[in-house]
Amino acid sequence: MNAIDPRELRNACGQFGTGVTIITTHCDGRDHGMTANAFMSVSLDPPLVAISVAKNAKMLSNIHKTNRFAVSVLAEGTEDLAWHFAGKPKLDLCDIFERRNDLPVIADAAAYFVTDLADAIVAGDHTIFLGHVREMSLDHSKRPLLFFRGRFGSLADPHPAPPLLDHAGYEFIW
């Protein structure tokens, strides 16, 4: 079996376009944040979301200490925030946070989720945190900031989803 080259794995994963989030918590009297695209919904009942944090990220110990985190889905045009929390500080940023349930969230986010830690699963060089959503909000007027092949982008022409049938139990098998 051939070894997987980490750089090629990263490049292949970069083919999957994602949204961009800021993960935040409040620990030791300070707000902490990091940019991440490893975010997903897990369950509607109970309401659970997941994030993935590298074992060498400062955020890892902060979430373990607080047992809480928030996820802000960045809106189109907020690349400066994404870079700031990815370790390339923009010193002129101000008033970027709002407080929700005692946690910082990005003020102009397309959506946010405030969670209590439900579980932490060590997975290789990352920890997957499951958060039980306690509060959330979304702004239908905002379009998401996207990430693809190592670059930020936006939706060219979003199309509405087709209507769903109530209680439809479809399973597609290929």
Per-residue pLDDT averaged across 61-66, rounded?
A: 98
Q: Which long-range contacts (CB under 8 A, 24 or more apart) does 36-45 make?
A: 37/147, 38/126, 39/71, 39/73, 42/130
Contact status, residue 109 vs residue 139, Cβ threshold 8 Å: yes
Contact status, residue 113 vs residue 49, Cβ threshold 8 Å: yes
Hey, what domains does the chain have and what are their CATH numbers?
Answer: 6-153 (2.30.110.10)
Q: What is the pLDDT of residues 82-98, one digit of tens each?
A: 999 999 988 888 889 99
Round to whole Å and give the CA distance between 106 and 170. Answer: 37
pTM: 0.86
Per-residue pLDDT averaged across 119-143, rounded?
A: 97
| Edge-to-edge order in the sheet of strand 151-153 | 18-19, 146-148, 151-153
Given 3-state DSSP classes, what are the helix, strand and coil percentages for the chain, each rounded to the nearest 5? 15, 45, 40
Structure confidence at residue 16 as a pLDDT band (50, 70, 90): confident
